[in-house]
Amino acid sequence: MSKIALVQMKADVRKEKNLQKILRYISKSSSKGATLCAFPEFMMCYTPSSQSAKELANISEKITGDFVSSIADSAKQNSIQVVGTFYEKSPKPNRVYDTSFVVGKNGKVISVYRKIHLYDALGFKESDKLYPGSSITKPIKTSIGKMGMMICYDVRFPEMSRILASSGSEILVIPSAWVKGKQKEEHWITINKTRAIENGCYVISPDQVGNIYCGRSLVVDPFGKILLDMKKWEGIGIADISLSMVHQVRKKLPLLRNRRTDIYTNLKI
């Protein structure tokens, strides 16, 4: 059994203010006995629609910058794994990567994933400011299990979670900033539960709250039971997960093993 902490937070427009809040959350999560602390998408700062692509690019950093380095130092000091996100400099002028990272208890960055599905939907166009990643990051071994990384809008694309699960993921961590809107919370709950059920894995989805976001950070078990729903409150939620649950569900409901990959193909019309 592993204890995990989800941070549901309302990000400020100032990244320095957010960083101090993040460091406090890491320390508090460790004091609660959590093995891993997971943060939402856009934790570096809230980006209002009035902010230009150039302004966002100017506050972005490299993975070796102060923002991630400060979080890595805190992870080491508190002996806790951290999943975080930041705006990363990209090769394209005035565009940034939406990047998640995993820091081990030793303070080393052990995995990096750049969001591949940009939210160009429902009246939004992330590609006006963001630059898409070009690959799915391989699952990594952590002290709580084999972890696959996704970000927010990625959860709407079942191919990605299936690839991560069939590649060994026992846990999917999906930092998100899920925008409010008609039936959006219903979509959020349904999709997170579905990704857990169809892959027989835990889904850990910390979300932004406040501003334009709906909250509802979730932990869903491999059989689709919601273990944690943080509703609209800001702070730390705790859940216990067990890899034996993954193994039991995948044995009783062997969806990954029962796939007919020998006949899956696009149909000619």
Please identify, in words, the CATH class of the domain defined by 2-252: alpha beta
The reported pLDDT for the residue numbered 266 is 86
The reported pLDDT for the residue numbered 268 is 84
d(CA 86, CA 114): 10
Show the low-confidence residues of the chain (pLDDT under 70).
none
**DSSP-assigned letters across all residues of 24-42:** HHHHHHHHTT-SEEE--TT
Give me the phi and psi of 208, to 5 degrees please: -75, 150
Write down the domain spans for the chain.
Answer: 2-252
The reported pLDDT for the residue numbered 181 is 94
User: pLDDT tens, 70-127?
Assistant: 999 999 999 999 999 999 999 999 999 999 999 999 999 999 999 999 999 999 999 9
**For the whole model, what pTM was predicted?**
0.96
